[in-house]
Chain A
Amino acid sequence: MSLTKIRLQEERKLWRKDHPFGFFAKPVKTADGSLDLTTWKAGIPGRDNTLWAEGTYPVTITFPDEYPSKPPKVKFPAGFYHPNVYPSGTICLSILNEEQDWRPAITLKQIVLGIQELLGNPNPDSPAQEPAWRAFAKDKVTYEKKIKEQAKRYVNYSFN
């Protein structure tokens, strides 16, 4: 749909003009050399002074045909350790849920900032995976250890 295309290019422009420090986001390159505006790779840095600080975490953002009526799908790599991330890597965040807080006006910048916030402040009321959620609720020591290990794996993460 025209609306989808126009909006996606708008997002790209907005991002180019203004994006938060340490973040990156771009559409993936296709076989014929064009950029697929419906699939983006992005990197989300952990916030300073948190367990996550060391890493920059990769996400894949997929925009549906009905975007911006419907929200994009955002995923970490499968098996990502966080209470609100499903085993598949899908992020459980209200602003990404059509039935909850998604609004068409929400920009890419707001989405990645929202995810950065979620990293350090999990929502205990919407568990998405067993290990991280259990540890977060009952075993903070293990939880912190796992987070730090994971952060090390994503130090200096970049694309290509």
Chain B
Amino acid sequence: MSKDLYLKKILGEERFSLIRGSTVLMVGAGGIGCELLKDLMLTGYGEIHIVDLDTITLSNLNRQFLFRQKDIDKSKALTVVKSVSKFNYFDSKLVPHHGNIMDTSMFPMSWWSQFDYIYNALDNLEARRYVNRMALYLKIPLMESGTTGYEGQVQPIYPYRSECFECQAKVTPTTYPVCTIRSTPSKPVHSITWAKEFLFQQLYDDSTSSATDAEESRKQLEKETDDSAEIEHMLRETNELNDLKSHIAGGADVFLPELVEKIFVRDIERLLEIESLWKHGGRPVPLDWSQLKPQLDSLLLTSTDLVDETKVQTPLENLYVLWKSGEKLVKRVVSGEPVVFDKDDEDTLDFVVAASNLRSHIFGIEVKSKFDIKQIAGNIIPAIATTNAIISGLSVMESLEYYKAKDSQAAFSNSSTVFVSIKPNKYLMGAGLVEQNSSCASCFKVARGVMELPETSGDLKLGELLEGLRQTYDYEDDHYEISIISGDSRLIYDIDFEDNIPCGLDELGIGIGSTLLIQVDEGDLQGLELYISKGKEFKLPQIQLRELPKTISEPEKSEAEVEKDGEVVFDDGVIEIEEIEEIEEIEDIRETATKLSSQEPPTKKQRL
């Protein structure tokens, strides 16, 4: 018997040989990636490209089973390929790339076009959006996946057929108003944000702000301020901190007592003077420095190790930790070493933990353990081996329909979005794929294609490009006026802005890897987004632009509102937890249509 006996039985000879001949891309070699690569290889995929820009850290090892202690600090993409060679039973060709998937020179369009299928195993929104867009340009099916803790999801994407990654709005991270952080904190996260993003940066981190660009930070502060009449107080605080910073050179003995007295005593006293802030309570109590100082001094003589990851510490203990980490940071700064906050740099973490806890203590906010603060300050999302294993298995499983049908339509009908969510009566929830969202700006309102251009793009004038566009897409015949936006938001041409017509594209900063968005001024014709790829000569793709359905005041659908409807941010993206129930209901309702009885089972009603 042979090694592939089972695969042939399960997949069928034909599908198995398609998979053997398939070239796929896996983006991300972390928690999901390690598991996914194993599953892809054991399913017999012929060629697998692996892209990751990250290196391995200790905290990866509890779930990324292809990495060992000795691999720490090595490239994930390169290490993972070495590690799996010992079970590459089907001799899949493995091609690692250590780099950023959004790097257009490392990964030009021609590189992307070699793939039959793309598997995302990513942990951030920006890269997910990018890969989604590339899949749309090239009409390559994409499997999106993500986990957080015990939950996770896979979503098969068939470009222009099913919902794409952007068809549903995504949650963006919460930002806190400056005045809350600087003047009226009420939650641990406010103190932590203050310690990490204000105090630490002002004092140690030269990469973000310094005395010389105080004006810049002033602007930043003002830009962010939405609700405060005490801006001057805040600016004064900052300026004093900058003055204080110049004392770092004098060493920790001078600097640290001044620091503590200023941020935990004087600034608080001054804040207390602004009566309007305390109308609704929450008055802070300045640190009793005169009493704590002698205690701290005697504690410092004993040189105890007071860092305890999981215990909540007293103000004195926090002062001690602040002191010890402060001394080390001062030494590092004085020696000229650049210091930035990093959750894995113990000195920086200890300083932020101690400073935020002291501030919380002053404002009567719950004091947290180092372990807990690390999670908030480092944006750590819990992750476990089991959920990643399940999601990776589902990722391959759900993509098999594509290889069965080799036809997006059939694959669309037979594939599911699957959620892992543990309930007493089920472990998974599936929902059939949904068609494109007709308000999606990524896959519905805009068509995409690849435009070819020789590297000497300067030879092509904007005027010539316009001419080509008008002819190729019948804009002229139908009397459409068009506009062209390059990149994210640079308008290079519209009816009211014709200055650039004689310019070469290179003068306008447009070349290989650029994108152009062409829209009609009037009417309901789809937009067209072109990705510029290297070619022999200027060539536009043949695309039939569609008329968009007439809509009445489309933008009324507020994304912000959609977002608030119970979405949960994932390690790795977004899931609409609240809607799962609904999806299931809909699924059930569909089923019920032909039934008389629709009585719910008791388990469901009483589901936890």
- Direct interface between A and B, CB < 8 A: yes
Chain A interfacial positions (CB closer than 8 Å to B) = 1-9, 12-13, 16, 27, 30, 32-38, 63, 65-66, 68-70, 73, 86-90, 92, 97-98, 102-105, 126-130
Complex contacts, A65 vs chain B, CB 8 Å = 488
Besides A5-B485, A92-B226, 5 new A-B residue pairs in contact (Cβ under 8 A), listed by A number: A3-B166, A6-B446, A9-B485, A13-B521, A105-B553
Is A35 in contact with B225, judged by CB distance below 8 angstroms? Answer: no
Is A104 in contact with B503, judged by CB distance below 8 angstroms? Answer: no
Is A104 in contact with B555, judged by CB distance below 8 angstroms? Answer: yes
Complex contacts, A128 vs chain B, CB 8 Å = 229
Bound Cα distance A70, B492 (Å): 25
Contact of A88 among B223, B491, B527 (CB under 8 A): B223
**Minimum CB distance partner of A15 in chain B:** B496
Report the interface size class on chain B. Answer: 35 or more
**Minimum CB distance partner of B486 in chain A:** A34
* Contact code string B225-254 (vs A, CB < 8 Å = 1, else 0): 111010110000000000000000000000
Shortest distance between the CB of B99 and any CB in chain A (Å) = 23
Shortest distance between the CB of A23 and any CB in chain B (Å) = 16
Contact of B223 among A7, A13, A73, A103 (CB under 8 A): A73
Bound Cα distance A38, B172 (Å): 19
Q: Which of B176-230 contact A (CB under 8 A)?
A: 218-219, 222-223, 225-227, 229
Is A88 in contact with B219, judged by CB distance below 8 angstroms? Answer: yes
Contact of B222 among A33, A37, A90, A105 (CB under 8 A): A90
The 9 closest A-B pairs by CB, nearest first: A88-B222, A3-B441, A34-B490, A35-B491, A2-B441, A69-B559, A37-B489, A32-B509, A38-B489
Is A34 in contact with B172, judged by CB distance below 8 angstroms? Answer: no
Count of inter-chain pairs, beta carbons less than 8 A: 129
Complex contacts, B499 vs chain A, CB 8 Å = 33
Given A104-B558, A104-B560, A4–B489 Cβ distance below 8 Å?
yes
Complex contacts, B555 vs chain A, CB 8 Å = 7, 68, 104-105
Complex contacts, A68 vs chain B, CB 8 Å = 555, 559
Shortest distance between the CB of B248 and any CB in chain A (Å) = 29
8 sample A-B contacts, Cβ–Cβ < 8 Å, listed by A number: A4-B488, A34-B509, A35-B490, A35-B492, A35-B497, A103-B560, A104-B557, A104-B559
Q: With an 8 A cutoff between CB atoms, is B64 at the interface?
A: no
Complex contacts, B485 vs chain A, CB 8 Å = 5, 8-9, 37
Q: With an 8 A cutoff between CB atoms, is B494 at the interface?
A: yes
Q: With an 8 A cutoff between CB atoms, is B563 at the interface?
A: yes
Contact of B500 among A33, A98, A104 (CB under 8 A): A33
